Structure 1
Amino acid sequence: MDIFDKKDISPMLISEMQDPFDSEDYIYEIKWDGIRCVSYLDETTDMRNKRNKLMIPIFPELEDLYRQVKVKCILDHELLVLKNGAPDFYEVQKRALMTNPFKIKLSSEKYPASIIAYDILYYKDKDVTDLPLIERKKYLQEVVIENNLISVSRYVENNGIMLFNLVKEKGLEGIVAKRKDSLYWQGKKSKDWIKCKVMSTDDCIICGYILKSNNMTSLVLGQYDDDTLIYRGHVTLGASLRILNQHKYKVIDYSPFGYVPEGNNDAVWLAPELVCIVESMPTEKDSFRQPVFKGVRDDKSPKECKVEK
């Protein structure tokens, strides 16, 4: 049984994050903010996420995707929902969790999904994962008929820093650098593919903490909107009670926000006095996306931690 019939491909994974760089050995693509999927296209569309969950029942507007390829193939791609011309990760994630057919239909009409294909793993009746990336890209360009459902990821050669700066200017997630001669290793994390993310830093007030399983600690974050303390979500990655205990803080018996935000019933509340640095993905939402705790700072007062407008 070949990889098309098995339908159990685990996408190749991207290596650790690095600063953007230039190299003649790499191509550079935009890192799209969606859900990584693999589609098996022949006389039907069989789309699966990284956990091999069937996605067409949740994204029925992509059912005819198979009509947009010239031959039987397997595509590695990002599943996106665009709002105001930009990928909206929250919208695509919200849809992915839906089970009600009526709500799915309404959502598919209001915010239709599309895909951006960046690799081809199977062409006609042949596994092409052992071909160099630059050759797979040629097959991909040849196979796909672009329309509102599907587009092919564009790339630049050599100039990674230039693309990164453009992506940063547009408020997108980042770029991926891929060696031109890289093969496709299913389910493997290869240093042939490197992500360069655009991250933003914010000064936040530590307003409490929540002790979680596996000895993890989430810090409750706040910022000021004029004179009102606003809840800004949690940060867990990089945070710990050990680090917090290295600093002076005061436990209080009420929420400093004036109410208990959803999901914070188990919080130990703190006087809003400690300022920390949080690194995260750009977002227009009320909380941070993929936040990382970078440390406490004493060179700023809590009142200087402002919500960006």
Structure 2
Amino acid sequence: MFISPMLLETAPGPFSHSDYIFEPKVDGHRLIYSQQSGVVRLYTRHNNDCTQQYPEILLPFDSDIILDGEVACTDPETGLNDFEAVMSRFSTRQQLKVQQLTKTLPATFAIFDILQYKGHDLRKLPLMERKAILQALQLPSSSFGLVPHIEGAGEALYEQIEGMGMEGVVGKRKDSQYISRRSSNWLKIINWSVADVYITGYKKSEFGWLAAVPDPTGRMRPVGVIEHGPSPKHKQAFRGVCSQLITGEDKNNVYLEPRIQARVKMRNWTKSGLLRIPVFEQFIV
């Protein structure tokens, strides 16, 4: 049984408040764990069945249950969540390969909420009552863990998260019920990184600026596409300048001289040297 998850709104910045608990934001992908009549199914936030991808998380609890959390993999070198590793797990369907990956890229289910248990719907209970039920659970194996939380001290937790290079913090109202939509009762504060890039072109079919950075030889190395962030004024200013910089085009893109520089915020650099989820901040003049 799938329950559509409760989603986060974005807070303007780190904050502390006695009405909230604060959790580290796990850098994986959302997972709804559903055990019905003893049979376990796993679902993404968009109701895609991913049961076969994570054999180590198919162990049953003592009774039927629906849990909300994130599935994550840990980089053994840094001890931090490795988003690319969990995406590799998610995209692998071939069963022999999946079994190999349970050993080389083991997944953990980091649980932060409980929606049903022993035939009872718990979603109308306040968050702290749901957390108490969660804390009392016997977890099936070390592939399961509970996301820790602290009360009130969101700024102190964010400072720790920032220092460790982790993804961010989630603040949740203690009295919040669980609702299957985006809600201001749950807020995320992302620990963004910043990079300066050159805009070397734009997409034809939909909005997107091609971003690049100089490599050690001075040549431009593509690092991704900026699809979020610029205001209508930024887009207008870009259009006013870019027509003078066109160097060529193909079926999908128009290419520009690397003259326009921009600052972007992003989650991190991927292992292949790309910007992860770049968001335009400002032009650099």
Q: TM-score, normalised by structure 1?
A: 0.83
Q: Given the superposition, is the C-alpha separation of residues 247 and 144 from structure 1 closer, same or farther in structure 2, using an over 3 Å criterion? A: farther
Q: CA deviation at 1:111?
A: 0.3
Structure 1 residue 27 displacement after superposition: 0.1
Unaligned runs of 5+ in 1: 1-6, 255-263, 299-309
**Partner SS, residue 246 of structure 1:** helix
CA separation of 1:45 and 1:243: change in aligned 2, threshold 3 A? farther
Q: What is the DSSP-based 3-state SS (H/G/I as helix, E as strand, rest coil) of the residue aligned with 1:195?
A: strand
Say yes or no: does 1:126 pair with 2:120.
yes
Name the structure 2 match of 1:61.
Answer: 56
Task: Tell me if the contact between 1:144 and 1:152 (Cα under 8 Å) persists in the aligned partners.
Answer: no
Match of 2:69, as an amino acid? H
CA, structure 1 residues 144+15, in 2 after alignment: closer, same or farther (shift >3 Å)? farther
Q: 1:199 aligns with which of 192, 195, 198?
A: 192
Q: For 2:229 and 2:14, how far apart are their aligned partners in 1?
A: 23
Partner of 1:232 in structure 2?
223
Name the structure 2 match of 1:210.
203
What is the one-letter code of the residue matched to 1:37?
Answer: L
Using the TM superposition, give the Cα deviation of residue 29 of structure 1 relative to its aligned residue in structure 2, in angstroms. Answer: 0.3
Whether the aligned pair in 1 keeps the contact of 2:25 and 2:170 (CA below 8 Å) is: yes
Cα distance in 1, alignment partners of residues 276 and 81 from structure 2: 14
5+ unaligned residues in a row in structure 2: which ranges?
none
SS in 2 for 1:131: coil
Quote the offset at 1:51 in angstroms. Answer: 2.2
1:275 paired residue among 261, 282, 285: 261
User: How many residues were matched structurally?
Assistant: 276
Of residues 31, 35, 45 in structure 2, which corresponds to 1:37? 31
Which residue in the other structure is 2:142 paired with? 148
Task: Give the Cα separation in 1 of the matches to 2:99 and 2:247.
Answer: 47
Q: Does 1:250 align with 2:241?
A: no
RMSD over aligned Cα atoms: 2.0
Q: Does 1:221 align with 2:211?
A: yes
Cα offsets for 1:182-221 (capped at 9, x unmatched): 0111x22111111111111211011111122xxx321111
Distance apart, 1:283 and its partner CA: 3.3
- Determine if contact 2:24/2:169 at 8 Å carries over to the other structure: yes
Q: Distance in 1 between matches of 2:6 and 2:267?
A: 23
1:71·1:143 contact (CA, 8 Å) conserved in 2?
no
Q: Which residue of 2 aligns with 1:259?
A: none
**Equivalent in 73, 77, 89 of residue 81 of structure 1:** 73
Partner of 1:288: 275
Shift of 1:100: 2.3
Q: CA deviation at 1:265?
A: 6.2
Letter in 1 for 2:75: K
The SS at the match of 1:192 is strand
| Amino acid aligned to 2:50 | M
Structure 2 letter corresponding to 1:78: E
Cα deviations by residue, 1:37-92 (Å, 9 ceiling, x for unpaired): 1112362322111222222211122222x1xx344321111011222222111221
CA distance in 2, matches of 1:289, 1:241: 21
**Partners of 2:42 and 2:50 within 8 A in 1:** yes
Deviation for aligned residue 1:124: 1.6
- How far residue 129 of structure 1 moved from its aligned partner, in angstroms, is 0.8
